[in-house]
Chains A and B, each alone.
Chain A
Amino acid sequence: GAVVSQHPSRVICKSGTSVKIECRSLDFQATTMFWYRQFPKKSLMLMATSNEGSKATYEQGVEKDKFLINHASLTLSTLTVTSAHPEDSSFYICSASRLESDYEQYFGPGTRLTVT
């Protein structure tokens, strides 16, 4: 159990367009979902924390108008990169946390975004 999926796994988009990444908890209800980004050969950096039905909490330095997070249900969170630019190219990983397992986080497989 405790499987988290992300879609798409890879996406290439043109500069100026927006792209949406979905994160789903397949077999459990996620109390909280987290979004991370990872640049090549770098560490993972927390971008934002989202709880179902409420606004996401963004980490310092992360533009909330650029990275729109919607957490409409206990099994789905979406990250929309608006007006993407080449510097937004990165590996985006979500995780989902559930109360029943003492808030352990389960990570999705990641989405590789390339902006041309």
Chain B
Amino acid sequence: AQKVTQAQTEISVVEKEDVTLDCVYETRDTTYYLFWYKQPPSGELVFLIRRNSFDEQNEISGRYSWNFQKSTSSFNFTITASQVVDSAVYFCALSEESGGGADGLTFGKGTHLIIQP
């Protein structure tokens, strides 16, 4: 069975600090997808990234970067020079690939990120 663990329930940092959100996953499949979503107070999920299991290259998008390491089953997310607008709950998720299509996502419990001015 698949599982996603986000050990950090809440993180609070001062604006402009860098912050890393941890994500550890478990799956028996060799083909799977990893995701990060942002959920602001409005509740709508904002897609940040999708990475398949065969692509271990790290990714950078502006102030956001992701470190995917299969050896430790981790897919960590770093925000550089954090801003107050980054305050939200962030979810890491996993999807295994069933024959002919994608499965539903298994979400971690989320990390509530608070950026203080």
Q: A112 CB to closest chain B CB, in angstroms?
A: 7
A67 CB–B CB distance under 8 Å? no
> Contacts A104-B50, A107-B45: A97 and B102 contacting too (C-beta < 8 A)?
yes
Interface residue count on the A side (C-beta < 8 Å): 24
Instruction: State the total of A-B contacts with C-beta under 8 angstroms.
Output: 48
Q: Counting CB contacts under 8 A, is B107 at the interface? A: yes
Interface size class on chain B is 10 to 19
Does A93 contact B45, Cβ atoms closer than 8 Å? Answer: yes
Query: A34–B91 Cα gap in the complex (Å)?
Result: 17
Which residues of chain A come closer than 8 Å to B47, judged between CB atoms? 106-107
CB distance from B35 to the nearest CB of A (A): 8
A48 smallest CB distance to B (angstroms): 8
Complex contact A110–B110 (CB within 8 A): no
Interface of A with B (CB < 8 Å)? 31-32, 34, 36, 42-46, 49, 59, 91, 93, 95, 97, 99, 103-107, 109-110, 112
Binding site for A on B (CB under 8 A): 37, 43-45, 47, 50, 91, 95, 97, 101-110
